[in-house]
Amino acid sequence: MRLRRATAASVAVTVVVAAVIALLPLTLSNYHRATGASVAVFFVAILALNIVTGYTGQISIGHGAFMAVGGYTTAILTHDHGWSDLPTLPAAAIVGFVAGVIVGLPALRFHGVYLALTTFAVALAVPQLAKNYPNFTGGTEGLALPTHSGLWLYEVGWAVAGVMFVIAWFLLRGRTGRAFRAVRDSEVAAASSGVTLAVYKTVAFGISAAMAGVAGSVYVLVNNFVNPDVFGLTLSLYILIGAVVGGLGSLWGVLVGAAFIQLLPIALTTSHISSSQSVPVIFGAVVIGVMALLPLGAANLLRVALHFGSQSRQSSDIHLGTEGR
């Protein structure tokens, strides 16, 4: 009974948040609508990373690479093959899924540190590949795409984000989500309860990469161009920052993380508190601070405040990937 009440409360909060997001563009300028659309892009990307890192416990530092795969799918299909924008999104999801499964296969054998190393290298290697085949990807100069109004981008971005959120919600609530969390908390226990590690890890990587691919293609639509530098290491790291700040293993934190990544730099520069150069410095310091003080991120802030002192310290530690030690 308590569980059902909790679910009802979450649904109510979700509806309110969704309504606010839906009505927000009425008060925004065209430029700020486009900014809102890029918050939606980061929302989807952080959601994707959260599925594989937060819920399944497989760290990925290379989600920018999956965004690149999806973004280039959209760019090449519209630029070279005459597709219109929106039908490329499912295509990006499919291509992203395939890329995710390919990266996820070695992940079956790697643990913790090795997976971090491999995905970090993927994040740096994929833009190099894009540079190397200019006939296919436009090389360093990239490809230009048709522009859209801020409102269109906002609507498409948040519609996609909403669909992805609902998919993630249902995925993580049910049997699959339980299996993911079992893999994260203890691989041995999961395997002995009948969770096939290989299948679930690969599926988590595939679904996550498919979502990141969709995020990448919306990102390309918002930017209306694509080149290898758009999907550099910084993008991958920013997605990770967003997931960490919002809280790994929490769907609520995703919105906080996305807003943090996209809006903090704008807030800092427009209020002249500090220049855009200082943004990475602040981000880095925040990540270290969050890891030192509050490893479960913003989503846990409330929980910690409510249960301050009554819960043991252990429960606020993350248990990701510690199996591999």
Partner 1 sequence: MTAVVAALERRLWFRPSTSWIVPAALVGVAVFLVVGSLRSSLFAQQTISGLANGGIYASLAVALVLIYRATEVINFAQGALATFTTYVAWQLMAWGLSYWPAFACTLGIAFAGGFLVELVAIRPVERRGSQITAVIAAIGLLILVEGSVGWIWGNQVKFMPAPFPSHIYNVGGVAFSRQDLSTIGISIAAVLVLWLFFRFTKVGLAMRAAAVRPQAARLVGVRVSWMLSLGWGLAAVLGAVAGMMAAASPSVLLQPSMMDGILIYAFAAAVVGGLESAAGAVIGALLIGVLLNLLGSYVSWVTPQLLLPVAFVVMLIVLLVKPSGLFGRTRVRRV
Q: Site residues (CB under 8 A) for partner 1?
A: 57, 59, 61, 106, 109-110, 112-114, 116-118, 120-122, 124-125, 128-129, 131-132, 188, 233, 237, 240-241, 244, 275, 277-281, 283-288, 291-293, 295, 317-322, 324-325
Shorter beta-carbon distance to partner 1: residue 4 or 325: 325
Cβ at position 280, least distance to partner 1 in Å: 3
Cβ at position 291, least distance to partner 1 in Å: 4
Is the CB of residue 262 less than 8 Å from the CB of residue 33?
A: no
Cβ at position 240, least distance to partner 1 in Å: 6
189 is written with which tokens?
A: 């226990």
Cβ at position 169, least distance to partner 1 in Å: 24
Token pair 């049997």 is found at: 175
Shorter beta-carbon distance to partner 1: residue 5 or 313: 313
Q: Cα 144 from chain centroid?
A: 24
Shorter beta-carbon distance to partner 1: residue 218 or 237: 237
| Greatest extent of the chain over all pairs of C-alpha atoms, in Å | 61
User: 166-205 burial, b if ≥16 CB within 10 A, otherwise e?
Assistant: eebbebbeeebbebbbbbbebbeebeeeebeeeebbbbbb
Cβ at position 138, least distance to partner 1 in Å: 14
φ, ψ at 294 (rounded to 5°): -150, 70
| Beta-bridge partner residues of 226 | 143
| Torsion angle (degrees, nearest 10) of CA 47, 50, 51, 52 | 130
Contacts of 67 (CB under 8 A, 6+ apart): 45, 212, 213, 215, 216, 219, 231, 235, 239
| Torsion sign, CA atoms 174, 207, 22, 27 | positive
Cβ at position 241, least distance to partner 1 in Å: 7
Rounded to a whole number of angstroms, the CA Rg of the chain reads: 19
Shorter beta-carbon distance to partner 1: residue 112 or 177: 112
Cβ at position 185, least distance to partner 1 in Å: 12
Shorter beta-carbon distance to partner 1: residue 33 or 184: 184
Shorter beta-carbon distance to partner 1: residue 18 or 301: 301
Shorter beta-carbon distance to partner 1: residue 81 or 325: 325
